[in-house]
Amino acid sequence: MNEVVLFGVVMILVLMGVSGSGKTTVGAALARKLGWTFVDADDYHPAANIDKLHRGIALDDDDRRPWLQAVRRRMEEARDRGENIVLACSALKHAYQEYLQHEDPAHIQFVHLRGSEELIRSRLAARKKHFMNPSLLHSQFETLEPPRDAIPIDIDASPEVLADRIRRRASL
């Protein structure tokens, strides 16, 4: 088992931010470098959420509730197994962040991947095979509430460089 123990706890790094900020790409690169498990919260969306997002309809709190519950269950499973994970999860609002870390804040560190709306819009325009409709980007920026204690990472470099920055900033 690849286990990094900081202060006696297993770690869960949550890479959060708007769609197109690089959560999945950077998260997968970071997990490889650390030898940790990568988990993409998008895999836990119910089919109805994916359909709404594909059609350009923003999710509300009721839509997100079952998704967040599933993501938190996965986080709890990781903690119970002693599994370090890198989790790619938008977690746009403070309420969602607090819900995800409610039971176990000592194990969880948020990393906010941030960039300009223009940069991210250009990334979304080039992205293929994702259910998120790019027309929802502005609403995500309006909703975004970065965690107060998140590690801020500007997305101005390659995924490998960003993963290294996160490792340094998180002391991993």
Q: How far apart are CA 84 and CA 99, in angstroms?
A: 19
pTM: 0.88
Judged on CB neighbours under 10 Å (0-12, 13-18, 19+), 134 is middle
Q: How many C-beta atoms surround the C-beta of residue 169 within 10 A?
A: 13
Q: Give the residue among 68, 150, 147, 21 at the shortest CA–CA distance from 59.
A: 68
Query: Over the stretch 85-125, which tens digit does the pLDDT of each residue have?
Result: 999 999 999 999 999 998 778 889 999 999 999 999 888 87
Query: Over the stretch 49-61, which tens digit does the pLDDT of each residue have?
Result: 888 877 878 888 9
Token code pair at residue 92? 């746009």
CATH topology of domain 5-154: Rossmann fold (3.40.50)
For the chain, the structural domain boundaries read 5-154
Produce one character per residue of 17-46: b if its CB has 16 or more CB atoms within 10 Å, e if not.
bbbbbbbbbbbbbbbeebebbbbbbbebbe
pLDDT at 106: 82
- Do the strands 5-6 and 151-154 form a parallel or antiparallel pair, or are they unpaired? unpaired
